[in-house]
Chain A
Amino acid sequence: MTGQLDQLFVSLKQWLVSFLPQAAQPMAGILLSISAIIGAFATMFAITTIMERKILGRIQNRLGPNRVGPFGLLQPAADGIKMLTKEDIVPFAADKLVHFLAPVVLIIPVALALAMIPYGRNMTAVDLDAGILFFFAVGSATELSVFMAGWSSQNKYSLVGAMRAIAQMISYEMPLVLSTVSVLMMAGTLSLPLIVQAQSGYIYEILPRWNVFTPWGLAGFVLFMIAATAESNRAPFDLPEAESEIIAGYLTEYSGFKYALFFMAEYWGLFAVSGLAVTLFLGGWNAPFPFLQWVPSWAWFFAKLGTIIFGFIWVRGTLPRLRLDQLMNFAWKFLLPMSLINIVVTAMWHFSRVFQFVGAREMRWVLCALVLAIPYFFLGRALGEGRPAKRNYKFAE
């Protein structure tokens, strides 16, 4: 029974495909997986927008949207109708073709990235040997579309936003990729389903073997999440769209459906990168405890994904936007060294496996944690050092 529930979608797809002639079956299978992913994530996009507004509201002691439908749950439908019926304005001076292509170029790589993620047992749409490489390869194409959007709008705010976005994405891609390296080192593969497999099983038959429960995994997870926030242009790294400074950044000249596409691509990128975080650090679709294994694997995956997205929203509701120099300093002077150190720590962890004496496990833990904590302390202090002394406003008081 539980096995059936677990494989529900897999068997559903096989059953549907079996109606077709033999030759068309692989193609149909792929198409079916793609439409399932697109459908699922379009729904999730709708749910996330409303949940985000609700949670942000609660964080600010407000109610959030509550007018459309029961508890305001139909708000995304209203927003969608509004977006679709709005006029599509293209600036007179804009480079029409590039302006039109930018959202399309953005959504394709993001959708491709979503196809790589293992959503459950046997539920990977495209299982590539170099899955994670593919993920980053298509992810880097999003920078280009942001540039296209900003440049083709022929608007200084758009251009400034695009330049900020590119500078930010390039800077944070480095720690993003480097923080995954430790996971790849330990798993010994680039394939996402195999990485999930490497995290299955339980220590002492009870504790999950997820990467996040090791010193290097925890550090890697935190680094990855910070870099992922910046990559998906979310607060506190939302400089490319800083409303208070540059209107809406590279989105300034977009309206109607194109704007909606951008918006959706942004959220899809967020889901993709969160899904990658789940896969790399949180054990993918593995259950946290052996006695909870009756819950279907995909349910675990989406529960973890939801938790991460809640974390993103929580951070957005808390932290103010960074300044550009702080952003760059943080990436190059803190995240990058930390992720390099983390790779060394991973190697230490890997090679200290051979020690078998009593207390070796604990010692390994303490040692690795220390090697991470000490640079953390000093790099963190160095970050604060360049700060100008507290200003005294002579004429303002």
Chain B
Amino acid sequence: MDLAFIIIAVLTLASAVAAMSLRNLVHCALCMVMTFAGIALTFLQLNAEFVGLAQLLVYVGAVAILIVFAILLTRSEDAKKEVRFVSSSTVVGFGVVALVAVSLLAAIQHTQILPPQSVVAPHVSVKRIGEQLMTNYVLPLEVIGLLLTAAMIGAVVIAMREPDPADSVDVQQRNGSPLKLDPDSKKTAVVANE
């Protein structure tokens, strides 16, 4: 184990612990970003250039921003309420952790441990990865593509609002028709917004 790996590992773990234990949600999110970046660095250090950079692009660039947005848009003032150690979420959390750990351990158990002399991994170019994705792994790629498309359509459907009667009133007013406040249409507008 060399020094760089130890530094990266310690940083990653420390920021992961911080992400779990800090009180301020935004701090937690930032610490989690550091964890993501640490994992990306680990990949890069293992010469897995493409995976490391993709990790950086997707997790630091996109997922982190998503989390931050979620925190800011849903922030409630009761964030400071007391933390109970045994709650339903803790139980579920431990269950998930156990499941992941078991499957990971099983996977590790079934890998043939590489002999130490072949530590130097073959250099995999991006081109090779692309070719593999387009030939051997084209079915998983397509399935993932389909899944993501379905998710995107779902998101669009959720985000799409019913045409709102209040809008037409607004447009009329904006276009200079006499300003007339119709109490009934107002009321329906409020209901529609809710």
Contact = CB atoms under 8 A, between A and B. Distances in A.
A95 B25 CA distance: 13
A324 interface: no
A232 to B, nearest CB: 16
A55 interface: no
Given A133-B50, A394-B176, A189 B61 contact: no
A140 B72 contact: no
Interface string A148-162: 100100000001000
A170 interface: yes
Interface string B38-65: 0010000000011001101100111011
A141 B30 contact: no
Contacts of B174: 388, 391
A130 B49 CA distance: 7
Contacts of A139: 61
Say whether chain A's binding surface is mostly helix, strand, loop, or mixed. helix
Contacts of A141: 37, 56, 60-61
A394 B126 CA distance: 63
Given A133-B126, A389-B175, A148 B30 contact: yes
B129 to A, nearest CB: 9
A273 B37 CA distance: 22
Contacts of A260: none
A143 B174 CA distance: 36
B26 A151 contact: yes
B61 A143 contact: yes
A137 B126 contact: no
Given A144-B33, A388-B174, A133 B53 contact: yes
Contacts of A128: 49
Contacts of B125: 129
Query: Size band of the A side of the interface?
Result: 20 to 34
A134 interface: yes
A129 B24 CA distance: 39
A147 interface: yes
B65 A130 contact: no
A347 to B, nearest CB: 14
Contacts of B56: 137-138, 140-141
Nearest to B178: A394
B127 to A, nearest CB: 7
17 contacts: A129-B126, A130-B53, A133-B54, A137-B54, A137-B61, A138-B56, A139-B61, A140-B56, A140-B61, A143-B61, A144-B60, A147-B65, A151-B26, A159-B72, A189-B127, A388-B174, A388-B175
Given A129-B126, A141-B37, 13 more contacts: A98-B30, A129-B49, A129-B50, A130-B53, A133-B53, A133-B54, A133-B57, A141-B60, A144-B65, A159-B72, A166-B65, A188-B127, A391-B176
